[in-house]
Amino acid sequence: MQEQYRTVADEGVYETEINRSRFICALAPAATEEEAQAFVARIRREHPTATHNCFAYVIGADAAVQKASDDGEPGGTAGVPMLQMLTRRDVRYAVAVVTRYYGGVKLGAGGLIRAYGGVVGEALDAVGTVTRRRFRLAVVTVDHQRAGRLENDLRATGRAVRSVHYAERVAIEIGLPDADVDAFRAWLADATAGTAGLELGGEAYGDA
């Protein structure tokens, strides 16, 4: 399983001109293939008169779903280099659409490959990416008296506090890198004089 991956920080658009053709790359995070396809459809609606709306997306931390389309460009000159740029940068759960308005100068196969792959790379630099790391979900249970201070201590030590639930005891859901579980267990016992409980859950990806 992937320890980490990168994804697009937010939706964004980057535009450049190559030999009089306009290349507009729209990027977005996409949690599912349906989200990616919906984004592609939206961009196509926004650019109905464009010469081409080529796309590529990668879904899954292990890049299990990969799709690309040349949308009328010569086979393998648009969607594939776009996809290769995403995977080379370890970008996952993301979709890229490159809209081209033809400017009258043919680029040739090599020129198209460089243009489509290049504009995705430049768009990733411009829009920005974030790293998601694999971590273990864990729930710390503690009495109300200690909960406020413990939550502050967790945040102060850089722990990813995901949620806090108040009931008979307070349950604080956190994310822990697998390698830190034993050290955290010892820290927790020390910080709460052994009164807190720790229950480990499944795995997820996030900023932990």
pLDDT tens-digit series, residues 83-98: 999 999 999 999 999 9
pLDDT band at 135 (very low <50, low <70, confident <90, very high): confident
CATH numbers and ranges of domains, the chain: 4-127 (3.30.230.30), 132-206 (3.30.70.240)
Q: Identify the residue whose tokens are 């984004």.
A: 39
pLDDT recorded at residue 1: 59
For the segment 50-94, what is each residue's pLDDT rounded down to a tens digit?
Answer: 999 999 999 998 899 999 999 999 999 999 999 999 999 999 999
| pLDDT above 70: percentage of residues in the chain | 98
DSSP string, 137-184: EEEEEE-HHHHHHHHHHHHHTT-EEEEEEESSSEEEEEEE-GGGHHHH
pLDDT recorded at residue 208: 45
Please give the model's pTM, rounded to 2 decimal places. 0.75
186: Cβ contacts below 8 Å, ≥ 6 apart: none
Say whether pLDDT at 107 is over 80: yes
